[in-house]
Amino acid sequence: MTIAGRRNFLTSGAIASLAIATPLIPTLSLATDEKQTASKSSAQGVTRTLARYIVDAKFEDLPATVRKEGTRTLLNWVGVAVGGSHHETVDRAVSALAEFSGPQQASLMGRTERFDIMNAAFINGVSSHIFDYDDTHLKTVIHPGGPVISAILALSEYRPCSGKEFLNALVLGVETACRIGNAVYPNHYDTGWHITGTAGVFGAAAAAGKLLGLTEQQMVWALGLAASQPVGLRESFGSMNKSFNPGRAASNGLFAALLASKNYTSSEGMIEAKRGWANTISTKQDFSEITEGLGTRYESALNTYKPFACGIVIHPAIDAAIQLRNEYQITPEQIDRIEMRVHPLVIELTGKKTPQIGLEGKFSVYHSVAVAIKDGAAGEKQYSDLAVRDAKTIALRDKVIATVDAAIKPEQVDMTIILRDGQKLHKFVAHAIGSVEVPMTDQQLESKFVDLADGILPKARMQTLMDTCWRIEQLGSAATIAQNGSFKA
């Protein structure tokens, strides 16, 4: 699919609403409360059980569907990391750290510089999250790829590993982050923690530890050291600080695994202990989410990929706006106002009415609906500093009215566009595009990749890099990914 084809896909009025298998904020029923109480009372050996699984898990044990989703996660991450590699956020981070970076051990995606593996993991983690276009585990709104892949890609250049070993570690890292996230979500997130950073550090530690060949005891210590490094607050959303969180989770997780590999110790129960991570950082703890079904139930298979470069809770509104735009061929000039009923989380997370910079635009449902109508798209170009200051966009943004309705689920929106001639156009989106049940296709992921890498990598290098990602299981050295991706035209 060409870039134009991708845009047509994203803007087609014929797009059906797609299903999200699990709501963003699950309702805690009485049965769930009872399960949680039982889980608390039997919370012993959680850290060790998880560590044993990570150490023992073999690539050959992964179902084909899980391996495929891991490969798709890799392709998507590489695309967004390259795409974000020359944002001013990354430029500033590179400038700040270059003087202090150690040996040139690892590549920076989309760039010519090489840093030591700790700083490379951080920079690539920042780069992959700056557009808010990365993979999303919808049950917890964790973006697991950033912390996990950033850590192990840097490590793969320093300590060689095969593509199969890399993919196995990737899946295990994503699995670890999402399972631990399940155990404390939504309460942990509602408190104000950025769960991508706080849970992502475990994924990075698990994946890096797997590649380092940690013993069970060392993996217990690695997870414990990761637990001591929670990073990320939701207050950072809309600033450069937000992408700092997955970057730091990547380097912190790698740091934990490297220390553990030299027998740097930690508590045996840092996840589940009374004064451990889960009990300290959240009012909800369901440890069964971490330990039950290991090796049979894969959270990593539920990873999804964004067709829009903004917070996931805005996607239903963008989907509805684009569908109405194309179905009725409407222009901004025809519109009197846009009314929509949304879940409370939409306003809580994305209620910025007057964003001044592109990063703030990603947390404005008003801006997002405006560009969806005006441009028929919500890619990274629609979230530039120039885009949020565009006079036509601002005029349309001021016509967007969002009303909180507790009956609307997080994955839904009820939108009505009232035209100046009095005509009312209505669209109810039950599930937004890019969900678990009907995910983006491989071809659509490639089109997204090309759109992001355009102007950073030559076309031939783009194709080589995509092919390398798809062939991860056949690679003799996973470092080939970093080598093909660290190039600037």
CATH number at 116 reads: 1.10.4100.10
pLDDT of residue 437: 73
Count of H-run helices and E-run strands, the chain: 23, 8
Residues 123 and 221 placed together within one structural domain of the fold: yes
Residues 342 and 480 placed together within one structural domain of the fold: no
In our burial notation (b when 16+ CB lie closer than 10 A, e otherwise), range 16-42 reads ebbebeeebbeeeeeeeeeebeebbee
Residues 161 and 302 placed together within one structural domain of the fold: yes
pLDDT at 451 over 50: yes
Alpha-carbon 321 to chain mean position? 23
Residues 293 and 373 placed together within one structural domain of the fold: no
Q: What is the pTM of this model?
A: 0.85
Residues 383 and 460 placed together within one structural domain of the fold: no
Residue 330: CATH number of its domain: 3.30.1330.120
pLDDT of residue 40: 54
Number of domains in the chain: 2
pLDDT of residue 380: 87
pLDDT of residue 433: 86
Residue 366 lies in a domain: yes
Whether the link from the prior residue into 147 is cis, omega within 30° of 0, is: no
Residue in the structure block whose two tokens are 């740097």 = 264
Residue 108 and residue 488 in contact, taking contact as beta carbons nearer than 8 Å: no
Query: Domain range holding 424?
Result: 309-429
> What is the arithmetic mean of pLDDT over 391-396?
97
Residues 361 and 425 placed together within one structural domain of the fold: yes
Residue 34 confidence class, pLDDT cut points 50, 70, 90: very low
